[in-house]
């Protein structure tokens, strides 16, 4: 069998796996070959898929891969595009500003619901394999009960943590010295936005159309009620996670 594997690997120019074929149903990526009056099942190794760069998984129920590939090539310069399992894998040499708008564009063009997961920078195939597992759980099975069209790995770990520990336990742990429920929703949103704007008072005040002194008052109110000064990095990151979770639990 080894000689046969070596023969076809050399002919195809890719690593292959070969098994005796007993008329079982073929899976995706499997083919039947005839050699010396015998039937064999040949599988081209996944490790031949050369994905390296900033990588996204796209999932859609549409089977028209060629159409989607053409759309992506029209939108981006030199994307690497592969079909792998149920996913379309897209990678770029340089980082791209890809957001949920891409999923919306594809959805409109092919009339099929589309979801995207950003995997970050992929260097090795085993990283991609781990990403595929996350994609299956998040985009296909929806085991974390979240309805979005664009995800990052941070979203995945965030949802996984909530799913395992529960919202109440996490909030109790984060705000053990304070009570976020004593704050009004607008103040919490201002705090979140302040962190997202890199702790910039002027930028955050402009976004909410409030005076900078009003913003400072709200930051002091957050400190008073939660015992967190979000002008401090460590408090900011804890508050951000807890506040996002709290607002999400209220669907605000």
List, for residues 87-123, the tens digit of each pLDDT value: 999 999 888 878 888 989 999 988 899 999 999 999 8
Same domain, 175 and 106: no
Whole-Å CA distances, 79 to 92, 199, 211: 5, 35, 45
Q: Taking a C-beta distance cutoff of 8 angstroms, is the pair 65, 83 a contact?
A: yes
Query: Which residue among 144, 164, 184 closes a domain?
Result: 164
Q: How does pLDDT run across 184-242, given as a tens digit for each residue?
A: 999 999 999 999 999 999 999 999 999 999 999 999 999 999 999 999 998 998 899 88
- Expressed in percent and rounded to 5, the helix, strand and coil fractions of the chain are 50, 20, 30
Same domain, 204 and 119: no
Same domain, 64 and 107: yes
Same domain, 82 and 175: no
Instruction: Tokens for 229, please give them.
Output: 């000064």
Query: Which residue among 148, 164, 180 closes a domain?
Result: 164
Q: Which residue has the tokens 């529960």?
A: 166
Same domain, 59 and 146: yes
Same domain, 60 and 159: yes
Structural domain tally of the chain?
3
In whole angstroms, give the CA distance from residue 116 to residue 135. Answer: 9
pLDDT at 57: 95
The residue range of the domain holding 145 is: 53-164
The size of the chain, in residues, is: 252
In whole angstroms, give the CA distance from residue 120 to residue 101. Answer: 18
In whole angstroms, give the CA distance from residue 140 to residue 135. Answer: 7
Q: Which residue has the tokens 């605000």?
A: 252
CATH number at residue 137: 3.30.70
The helix (run of H) or strand (run of E) holding residue 82 is strand 80-84
pLDDT at 28: 67
CB atoms within 10 A of CB 183: 21
Same domain, 62 and 116: yes
List phi, psi (to 5°) of 64.
-90, 75
Same domain, 103 and 171: no
Same domain, 77 and 135: yes
CB atoms within 10 A of CB 187: 18
Instruction: Tokens for 2, please give them.
Output: 């080894």
Same domain, 154 and 84: yes
Query: Which residue among 141, 164, 187 closes a domain?
Result: 164
Q: How does pLDDT run across 31-79, given as a tens digit for each residue?
A: 787 777 888 888 766 555 667 899 999 999 887 888 999 999 999 988 9
Same domain, 86 and 108: yes
Same domain, 86 and 152: yes
Whole-Å CA distances, 43 to 18, 161, 174: 6, 37, 50
pLDDT at 85: 79
pTM, whole model, 2 decimals? 0.59
What is the chain's mean pLDDT, rounded?
85
């Amino acid at each position: 069998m080894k000689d046969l594997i070596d023969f076809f690997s050399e002919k195809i120019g890719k690593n292959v796996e070969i098994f005796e074929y007993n008329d079982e149903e073929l899976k995706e990526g499997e083919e039947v070959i005839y050699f010396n009056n015998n039937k064999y099942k040949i599988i081209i190794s996944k490790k031949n898929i050369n994905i390296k760069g900033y990588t996204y998984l796209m999932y859609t129920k549409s089977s028209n891969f060629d159409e989607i590939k053409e759309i992506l090539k029209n939108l981006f310069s030199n994307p690497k595009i592969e079909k792998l399992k149920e996913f379309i894998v897209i990678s770029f040499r340089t980082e791209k500003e890809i957001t949920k708008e891409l999923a919306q564009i594809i959805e409109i063009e092919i009339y099929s619901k589309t979801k995207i997961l950003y995997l970050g920078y992929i260097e090795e195939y085993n990283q991609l394999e781990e990403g595929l597992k996350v994609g299956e759980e998040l985009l296909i099975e929806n085991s974390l009960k979240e309805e979005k069209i664009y995800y990052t790995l941070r979203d995945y770990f965030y949802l996984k943590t909530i799913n395992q520990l529960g919202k109440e336990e996490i909030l109790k742990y984060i705000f053990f010295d304070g009570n976020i429920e004593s704050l009004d929703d607008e103040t919490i949103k201002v705090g979140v936005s302040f962190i997202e704007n890199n702790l910039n008072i002027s930028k955050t005040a402009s976004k909410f159309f409030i005076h900078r002194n009003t913003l400072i008052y709200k930051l002091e109110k957050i400190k008073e009620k939660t015992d967190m000064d979000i002008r401090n990095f460590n408090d900011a990151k804890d508050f951000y996670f807890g506040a996002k979770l709290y607002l999400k639990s209220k669907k605000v």
